[in-house]
């Protein structure tokens, strides 16, 4: 995919109304620190347009990035940050649920999980929640450069069993350091958002 223009068009807080976009949307979900900003930056061909979190879990907003005036990347707030209060977690849940239910343009949710670790209870809940809302998540296994090539198959197996998914669900390993996996994700986004 050739990135011509990138524009952070809408930032939604808890009480904001969601935009009624007329272009396809691709959403990104994952626990804080999983590498979501890094992935989004890589998919925008930008170094630090999406904020890379110095303080994980701080900003609970849904950010809509207009890409090429053709589609949106939707950055959902990261979950699972321990220091956030229960009230904050509830707010977070309502925001995401509202978005998943109301968006008319959402084509796919990418769920990010760290390739090094077994998925958490929160990851699994998020996966099930996306499915429950009628979407087929695509899993992005982040930080690929942090494992040895020889560990890849074992980690992918752990990831699938942790999320409770079979081989029919797409899992794409990705590294923001080497950009491995980026073309595959771009191709998929183009397929999902064309026509």
Q: How far is the CB of 104 from ligand GDP (least distance, A)?
A: 26
Q: Which of 43, 138, 176, 185 binds ligand GDP (CB under 6 A)?
A: 176
DSSP of 18-81, one letter per residue? PP--SS-EEEEEEBTTSSHHHHHHHHHT-SSSSPPPSSTT----EEEEEETTTEEEEEPPPB--
φ, ψ of residue 98 in degrees (nearest 5): -55, -45
Which range, of 61-69, 142-150, 161-169, 182-190, touches ligand GDP by CB under 6 A?
Answer: 142-150
Closest to ligand GDP by CB, 90 vs 177, is: 177
Check binding of 182 to ligand GDP (CB under 6 A).
Answer: no
Distance CA(131)–CA(176), nearest Å, equals 27
Check binding of 77 to ligand GDP (CB under 6 A).
Answer: no
Structure tokens at 62: 């849904």
Check binding of 32 to ligand GDP (CB under 6 A).
Answer: yes
Query: In this chain, which residue has its C-beta nearest to ligand GDP?
Result: 35
- Cα angle at 20 between 186 and 13, to 5 degrees? 85
Q: Which of 29, 36, 71, 140 binds ligand GDP (CB under 6 A)?
A: 36
Check binding of 60 to ligand GDP (CB under 6 A).
Answer: no
Check binding of 38 to ligand GDP (CB under 6 A).
Answer: yes
For residue 51, with 0-12 CB atoms within 10 Å meaning exposed, 13-18 middle and 19 or more buried, which class applies?
middle
Q: Which of 118, 146, 170, 192 binds ligand GDP (CB under 6 A)?
A: 146
């Amino acid at each position: 995919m050739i990135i011509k223009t990138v524009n952070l068009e809408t930032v939604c807080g808890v009480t904001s109304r969601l935009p009624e976009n007329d272009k396809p949307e691709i959403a990104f979900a994952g626990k804080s620190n999983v590498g979501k900003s890094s992935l989004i930056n890589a998919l925008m061909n930008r170094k630090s347009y999406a904020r890379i979190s110095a303080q994980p879990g701080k900003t609970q907003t849904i950010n809509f990035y207009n890409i090429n005036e053709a589609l949106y990347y939707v950055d959902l707030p990261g979950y699972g940050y321990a220091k956030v209060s229960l009230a904050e977690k509830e707010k977070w849940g309502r925001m995401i649920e509202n978005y998943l239910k109301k968006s008319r343009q959402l084509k796919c949710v990418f769920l990010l999980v760290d390739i090094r670790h077994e998925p958490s209870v929160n990851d699994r809940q998020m996966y099930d929640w996306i499915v429950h809302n009628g979407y087929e998540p695509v899993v992005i296994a982040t930080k690929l450069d942090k494992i040895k090539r020889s560990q890849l198959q074992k980690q992918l197996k752990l990831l699938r069993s942790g999320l409770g998914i079979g081989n029919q669900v797409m899992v794409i390993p990705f590294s923001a350091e080497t950009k491995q996996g980026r073309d595959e994700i771009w191709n998929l986004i183009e397929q999902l958002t064309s026509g």
